[in-house]
Structure formats: structure tokens, C-alpha cells
A and B are shown apart, each in its own frame.
Chain A
Amino acid sequence: MHRRPPLRLRQHRPILQIVLALATAIGCLVLPAVCFPEQASSPPQDIVFKNATVMTASHGTIEHGSVWVHAGKIAGVGTSVNAPADAVAVDATGQWLTPGIIDPHSHSALDSDVNEATSPVTPSMHMIDAFDNRDKALYQALAGGVTTELLLHGSANMIGGQAVVIKNKVGLDRDAMLFPNAHGSIKFASGENPKRVYGSRNQLPSTRMGNFEVMRQAFEDAKEYMASWDGYNAKVAKGDKDAVAPKRDLKLDALADVLRGKLYVQIHCYRADEFLTEEAIAHEYGYKIRAFHHALEMYKVADKIAPENTAIATFADWWGYKDEAWDAIPWNAVMSMREGVKVALKSDSNDHIRRLNQEAGKMVHYGGATEDEAIRMVTLNPAWIIGVDDHTGSIDVGKDADLVLWNKDPLSTYARAQKVYIDGDLFFDASLPGLGTPHFKGVMHDAGGFGGEDGEDGQ
């Protein structure tokens, strides 16, 4: 089931998930291929794509354009490039070339370990500890042109866990799929989910008042913790050999990182009033909010949020699945963009992640985004939210060669990803038989098709 069904329907699902989990667990024991995938040889040093419609995402579209890739980086882009004669040429006549699609809100490949829903404040959870790099969802997303994902904690907790940024190099081992040196992000939530999860257990929080109070209290604890460490460090600096280090507390360590600005704060938040409250609390405690996720009511207050330099990662047109999604309108993204908010589209779903390009295409319809603006919502803008826009998200010299070749205009319904390159290496090729994965020959896992639209599945 994809859309959030009435709660009682969902009771059937854990059974299915247990069955699937058992099946995959057994598969792993029985089939050694699960643990030893083949890996293809290294990619060519130079590749040149010729005669493509190049949608750069940063500087417009180049008709009959060429892109030169050298050693995994983009070395040239334009109507002509200075690629060496021995570069592997890809004739892209009649095809479109875009940056790899980037999803700033995914819960794929976490084997249902999305929410540590045992406390409303769990900042020391690290999603990498649950990352299953063989989940079929990664492959299915790759086949839809997705090259980078931010795998987030769910929204059960006001302060959730720390995200992991991956490059969708299906077939490589776990650590080879991590985005090198990516900035850390932490997931916060607000609204219905935390208050429902804890309220249903008669715990704090059970209201939006409780939600925000839990958050403030956590930061008060963190301030005290920081002060004790600052005091200790000052003593050490003065040469005080008797200084006793405070006890390390992983939870408070993580919160201190938020207050010190070391983690990007990604907040699950729907309602206009809550954006304002979240910004006020951020000001009060001195951190910045990188992005509001879902953000379905941003169109109501976009002019107030734009000066905060907080982006949004929103749905194209999902609505109505819960009360706080009742005022969602499909013009939200473009209206907010016109007010100066940086806008990305995201999946929050193993389904929609496979066709984020179409979600971008809808923005041409809903609000009249230009094709350039639309493609940016699934490439450069999500790259900014994740903090990897210096490395990927557009076709510019020096950036990683994360590229997708499409048979039709990627903003249309009809586009299929033909080839997907990450760091200049071919990870998906639709013309190949079987899975079309040059690097993956093993057996995939199935975590049951996560499809929740607001990150609360897996509870």
C-alpha cells in the first residue's frame, strides 16, 4: 500500500514485512552471492557526450551540446568541448542530458529502521547504521536517474537522527556508496507525528505545545552540557592538569553540534504557523534551519521565510493524507519560489523517487515554472539542501560527472533514463539485458516497499 491508508488497514503490514525480512535474511544465508557482488572494471578516463540537449541546471539548456568527462569530473560543457581524440564517444543525438537527479528526502534502504520512536529526542541515531546497500529501492531509483539521496530519520521524534548522504552506486560496497565528505544533517520533526506517537502512549508530547517544549528543553540541556565542556577546555588550555573532563553524552554531543552549527537542520514541518515557530526557536538558540521538508503550507508565509535562507523540500502535488496536508496545493512550489524561497522536490517514497523528473515536469503545469527552474528543483536545489552543491547538481566544469541520458525531454511523462553515470562511471544502462546494472550482479534485498509520504513508516 502506498498512500497512508486508514490505520486499521495498516495492521496487516507488519506481517508482510516480517515475512519479507525473514525471506531476505534466509536469502543472505543461503546465497553467497548476496555478500560478494561482482564489480566491473574501472570506467574510461575520458568520455564525451555529443549532440545532446544539455540541461545544465545552472546555466540553461544547450541544444546540440557536448559534455566532456575526465577522470570522473566534468571537464567541459558547451556546443563544443576539447575532449581528447581517444575519449569514449557517446552519440546522444535526439537525447537529453541532465545532472543526476537528487532526492533530499528518502527513507530507502533502511530496512524499516526509519524511526527510533522510543523517545522524542534521539539526535545520536545515525542512519548509516541501518543502511542496507542492497535494497532494491536503490536500484529502482537509479533506473529513474537518481544519483544522490539524503537518507533521513523518520518524523516520529521532535529531534530525530543524523542522515546519511549516498551516491547511488548500486553494486559497490556500503562505504563506497557514501557521498565523500558530505556535510552532516539532522532530522527534526513537528506537528502531528510526534504528538500522535507519544500522545498515544500518554507521554509528552501530545500537543504542539508539548512538541516545542520538548525541543526547547533539549537545547537547554545541551547548553548546560556545552558550558561544562567549554569550562573544562578552558581549564585545560590554561594548563590545569587537575581538570576533570565531563562525561561524554552522545545525545548531548549531537545537540551541541546543532547549536554549534555543525549539522544542517532538516525539519519535517507542514503548517505555516509552525514554520514561524521553528524559525523563532532557531533564532533563540542560535542555529540555522537548512530546509523545511514537506512544507505544504509554505505558500502562505513564503515572504517571511525567504529572508531566513531556509529552503523547502516539498511534494509536487500530494495532499489530503492527513489534517496537516489538507491545505496543500500543487502551486506551493512555484509560488514559494517566486517569493524567493529555494525549492526542491523530494520523494519521501520508494515509488515517487523513480520519477522525480515527472514531478518536476508538473511544475511547468502548476504555476508555470520554466523548464530550467523545474529541472533545478530535482538537481541543484536539493544538492544545496544536502550541502553537496559544490560537487554535484549541475553540469558545470569541475563537478562530479553525475549524469543522466534520457530518450525524451525529462520533464515529460515519456522520458526514460537510458544511461546513468555517477562520478563518470556507468551504473545503469537500460540497453543491457537483465537488470541493466554494469556493477551489480548479486541478489537484492526487499525491505517491503517503503511508501509513506511523511517519513513515519517503519514505526
Chain B
Amino acid sequence: MSESCDVSRRGLLGAVAAFGAVSLAPGVMLYARSADEPVSAKVRWGMLVDTTQCDKDCDACVEACNTEFGLVSHGRPDSDPQWIRKLTVTDPSTGRSQSFPVMCQHCAHPPCVDVCPTGASFKRADGIVLINRHICVGCRYCEMACPYMARNFVHENLTDQKPYAPRGKGTSEACTMCVHRVDAGGTPACVEACSKSGRVAMLFGDLNDPNSEISKRVRSVNTTQIRSDLRTDPGVRYQGL
């Protein structure tokens, strides 16, 4: 990350501090879990991607994810880690083209969890689908089961991982919905980067809280889940798709 980027981030923080008091109205800060309280099913974290706001040439979310988790290319695009990717789809009959990010959809009924032979793949109480890499044996069954091709396999020996995001050779990995940030009351890196880029095509929040912004949005506008026919009930929804 370049120095100038750091500076602008601090600038943003300053601005946030200035009008934070105004924006912190009741119900905006959706969920305040104390540090030693376990996650609960009262919350279902979800994301809303507004494809009408997503720019085809922008990959700020992908960049942010790679930076956050230290995902670097090993010169083999087929097996390089890719936790979030930009897709561009075109309707052949109308020629309408759309671009949007796809990552782990954090399904309510995740196929990766169903197939995992060791129980490493699991859904946390608050709906975030994770991999307990302490017991992952690297069979890659989850990668095959996932209809969203969200899971990756680590092929390389890694060093100097991010302290908050352990990764290691021989295990499956995927988007964690930035669980380390969410647990600290934050928002995922991709959502943050999207907002910072000025497009604001991504929204993160608690789907179970009727007063949350994301709940209001999914109530009021037409949103879809990718491959909803599979009834995996993803926590990531798309608007305008």
C-alpha cells in the first residue's frame, strides 16, 4: 500500500470523527456485541451489491481484499488465490452488460458445509461461512460443491501472513466476510473500498435487524440471489441483476 493511500485514509478517518456524532443515530449502529460475548443467531450478516452502481472497469473491492489478506499472485492465474472476483455478464439477446463482484455468498444452507468430511467447513451462528483450518485436511470437496466457485486452495508455502488472517498451504480458503473486522464492529474491506471509490455499490449489514439499512433496502427494492434455484439462501444479494 502506498504512502499516499495511507494519508487519504487518515483524512477520511478525520472526517468521520467530525460528523460521527450526527450519523450515529439509534439503529444505525446495528449490532453492538461486547468483546467477550459469543456470536449469536440473532444476527445474520449479509451484503447487498447494487449492480447498477458497479463500474465494469473498477476493481477496488478486489484490490482491497487482496491487500487486506495479503493475497498475492504466484504467476499461475489458474491457481492464484481469488476470494472476490469481478464478473461481467452480457445478455446476448439485448446486449445489456452488467458487472458485479462475486465472493463467498455466505449461504444459509451452504453446500460446502454439507460435504465437508471433517467438519472444518462451518457456518457461524451469525451466518458467516468459514473454514476451521485447524481441522481442514485439504480434500477440496468444498471447492467442488460450491456453486459460486468461491473457494480456493492454497498451493504455496506462505510466510508473513496477516496476523488477523491466518492462511496456510494445503487448506481451503474463501472470503471470510472480513470476520476479524466484523467482530471488531467494522465492515468488510471490499465494502469499505467500494464506498471510498465513490460508487457505493456494496452495502453490508444485519439482515435480521428490521431497522438496518440493508433490511430496509431488500424490503423496498427487487433483489436477487445468484442461483436461488439451488435454495442455498445466500446472504449476499444483488440488486438490478
Same complex for A and B? Answer no
Interface residues of A (CB under 8 A from B): none
